[in-house]
Amino acid sequence: MILANNRSILYSIKWFSTVKTVGINDVSGLPSGSTVFSMIQPSGKFHLGNYLGAISSWKALNDAKDNGGTLLFGTADLHAITTPKPSASTFRQMRKEAIASILSIGIDPKKAIVFHQSQVPQHTELHWYLSTITSMGYLNRMTQWKSKANVNANNRSEVGNVKLGLYSYPVLQAADILLYKATHVPVGEDQSQHLELTRELAEAFNKLYKAHYFPLPVTMMTPTKKVLNLLNPDKKMSKSDINQNSVIYINDEPDVIQRKIRKAVTDSISSEFKYDPVNRPGVSNLINIVSGIQKKSIADVESDISSFTSHKDLKDYVTEIIVEEFRGPRREFSRYINDPMYLEEVEASGAKRAIEIADKNLQSIKKYMGF
């Protein structure tokens, strides 16, 4: 059984529903025998948005785990190639940095299975099987591929140029989850629509083949709102941003974090600092970051900063909190990234364990289908 402790991100759960939000103060756990699955694209070292979006919940689950459940965490490197990479060597380095980042936040490869998606060929095989029961109408309603492809959904010419891999991305994601019969999937808010499709396909398979095989995975959403670009709070924080002062990485040195926060966009009001994402997006983003790191409500953070009388007060406070939060991960990332042999051992061991589960499940799936 996987249980949450008092200092972890804790889960408020009513198990008859399939969408959960991670609670802050409630002490609850996952049912015995749960399988938790989550992946992140290997775009290099983690930034603050990655960390608060879903990764910090991986750490909470890892810390609370005993031997009664299964944790699978890794890089979605097959998903990553739906957008071009600068070079093969760059992509390989990004994959290494992603594994180093996973380990640096405290994921224990003895407790969790850590691997690259591409190391387990059963992912793509199940992707094909599920694609045969996925309607184009459903995929047309998905929003993320339209955003990634930067197309106008009403423009047939633009839509016609979208690559098949990007279009069918949600089906592969469903295959990733269902391959391990995952019961719980911690994700950021931008992935909730993909989990809806996963449940639709699980139900469709079970109905078509008259089986009660796939569980309907629970979406575990973190309470932290999307972390925004420090210099342009109209968009989310992203590694691909040309101006890297807009992004904070887990391995940024304290002086770099301080510089980036000092440059962060705020506003002209210094008499009080309130969470108001419509009228004060920059200030609200900083408050949201503090809320996510400290596992406090927005109201509690507002109370903590109520005595501040300048933007410098606020920014110094935010800097201190981020620097302290990333002190351990920064040190550990440097250690792991400089030990490529160990990273390879973790990947190989994780892949072997993942394949054992994936192959057994895929054989059962194929038997239901008549293969």
Q: Could you give the CA distance from residue 246 to residue 264 in angstroms, rounded to a whole number? A: 7
Contact 247, 47 (CB under 8 A): yes
Look up 225 and say whether it is catalytic.
no
Contact 288, 275 (CB under 8 A): yes
Angle of the 311-325 helix axis to the 254-263 helix axis, nearest 10: 150
Q: Could you give the CA distance from residue 234 to residue 48 in angstroms, rounded to a whole number? A: 17
Tokens of 233: 């709070």
Contact 8, 27 (CB under 8 A): no
Classify the C-alpha dihedral 234-48-54-197 as positive or negative: positive
Start-to-end CA span in the chain (Å): 34
Secondary structure (DSSP) of 71-123: EEEEE-HHHHTTS--S-HHHHHHHHHHHHHHHHHTT--TTTEEEEEGGG-THH
Beta bridge partners of 35: 70
Classify the C-alpha dihedral 131-136-142-145 as positive or negative: positive
Secondary structure (DSSP) of 13-71: --TTSSEEEEESS---BPPTT-EEEEEE---SS-BHHHIIIIIHHHHHHHHHB-TTSEE
Look up 236 and say whether it is catalytic.
yes
Q: Could you give the CA distance from residue 187 to residue 40 in angstroms, rounded to a whole number? A: 9
Look up 181 and say whether it is catalytic.
no
Q: Counting runs of H as helices and runs of E as strands, what totals does the chain give?
A: 17, 7
Q: Could you give the CA distance from residue 161 to residue 156 in angstroms, rounded to a whole number? A: 9
Query: Which residue in 85, 226, 239, 274 is the catalytic one?
Result: 239
Angle of the 340-369 helix axis to the 122-131 helix axis, nearest 10: 40
Query: Which residue in 110, 111, 146, 148 is the catalytic one?
Result: 148
Query: Which residue in 85, 226, 236, 296 is the catalytic one?
Result: 236
Residues 6+ apart with CB under 8 A from 172: 78, 79, 123, 124, 127
Which residues are identified as catalytic?
148, 236, 239
